[in-house]
Amino acid sequence: MSTPLIETVGVGKSYGDFVALDGVTLSIREGELVSIVGPNGAGKTTLVNVLTGLLKPSAGVVRFKGRDIAGIGPVKLARHGMARAFQLVHIFPAMTVAETISVAVVSQTDKSLRLFASVRDDAAVRERVREVAAIFGLDGKLDVESRLLSQGEKKLLDIASAFALAPEVILLDEPTSGVSSGDKHGIMRNVVDAARRAGVKAIILVEHDMDLVAEYSSRIVALTAGKVLADRPPAEFFADPAIVAAVVGKMVGKLRQGA
């Protein structure tokens, strides 16, 4: 079995008396798309923040490619090869598509973020921006302000910015939230195909849409009350009504069984 790209061993995170994570142990290997699911308050966001170096765990170990990354921060972690989509579109809505992707491209170089004058004059940066935009079908909108994009295009731009970091592992937190049902599978197919073409070795997906989780996951890690309830392939996960009910509710369980 291959060495894990990401590994947590007995990870805990507490805020005073409140325990957000309790003894979480998991591993993610090359070729996997692992979905993290669970009800509100299960600890998903805390786990994601620990995995991406935003939070240092109160207990346990978190490693990326064998390196301890506890609290390292997303900028340093991106340089080691893990990126997270951070919804830059919502932070900088007046930036164009090209400018938004450029932030990520330039952050991976030794260039300063005297950003946009230098970006316009740098052929290599411009070419990388066009290359990433084309992967997600945004190359025709490089000069469009992010706020003018459709919701689906905004999601793709957020993800494209993470891809511009040239990661080995990418973490997607609710990449289809706010997107119409008809667009969700298109976005996921685009992301998975883009990951393959870009050489991404593994994807971590936090997603509440169980149809997407069932369709695209190689494994599903279910959290409840900060603990791992299940870590199973989709067929085994959805075949256990007790787990499905505990994680996403009885109604979704019935829908999956009837699918």
Starting at the edge strand found earlier in the chain, the sheet holding 6-15 runs 18-28, 6-15, 59-64, 67-68
Predicted confidence (pLDDT) per residue in 198-253, tens digit: 889 999 999 889 999 999 999 999 999 999 999 999 999 999 999 998 887 643 44
Pick 79 or 108 by higher pLDDT: 79
Predicted confidence (pLDDT) per residue in 22-79, tens digit: 999 999 999 999 999 999 889 999 999 999 999 999 999 999 999 999 999 888 898 8
Beta bridge partners of 223: 228
**Are the CB atoms for 222 and 245 separated by under 8 Å?**
no
CA distance 82 to 211: 26
pLDDT for residue 114: 54
Q: Give residue 254's pLDDT band: very low, low, confident or very high (50, 70, 90).
A: very low
Predicted confidence (pLDDT) per residue in 131-164, tens digit: 999 988 899 999 999 999 998 898 889 899 999 8
CA distance 149 to 24: 38
Predicted confidence (pLDDT) per residue in 163-183, tens digit: 988 899 999 988 888 788 878
Q: Specify the pTM.
A: 0.85
**Would you kindly state where each structural domain of the chain is located, as residue ranges?**
1-81+202-259
pLDDT for residue 259: 45
CATH 1.20.950.20 is the classification of domain 1-81+202-259? no
pLDDT for residue 197: 84
Pure H helices in the chain: 44-51, 74-80, 88-91, 97-107, 115-120, 123-135, 151-163, 181-198, 210-216, 234-238, 241-248, 250-258
